[in-house]
Amino acid sequence: MSTMISRRFYFLIAIFFSLQIIACNGKSIDVSLISQEELISQIETEQSFLILDVRSKKEYELGHIPGAINIDFKELKNRIEEIDSFRNSQIVVYCERGIRAKVAEAILQEAGFQSVFHLEGDMYAWRKKFLPMESQ
């Protein structure tokens, strides 16, 4: 039990310092919000964009937004080439509650992605509204 608490504590500390480093770089992270309703509309009209789930593989497999691809936020920097074809497209990023998505958004912007959006309420709000989900 204490090992799990220790892991969570160190994980939260790592997130905190990551956010501090991002903030101290002097670059402002300008990410627009997109509502669940707007995203559903875009999914239905089949517009060309990327939905990026930055949660763990296990969380993704348990349920994700239809059409989303999964790259854990901890792996994003090393796997950025996998989504390079979306460099000039809209990218909608989400996690469970927003912290990991913020880190991922900073990584995307640092890599030159211009049109990055954050899903308002993340997966937590999506699930609470009983919106469509896929699982694997």
Active site residues: 95
- Structure letter (DSSP) for residue 86: G
Nearest to 81 by CA among 94, 66, 71, 92: 71
CA 24, 107, 38, 68 torsion-angle sign: negative
Q: Which amino acid is at 108?
A: L
E strand or H helix at 6, and its extent? helix 2-24
Nearest to 23 by CA among 85, 100, 106: 106
Q: Which amino acid is at 72?
A: D
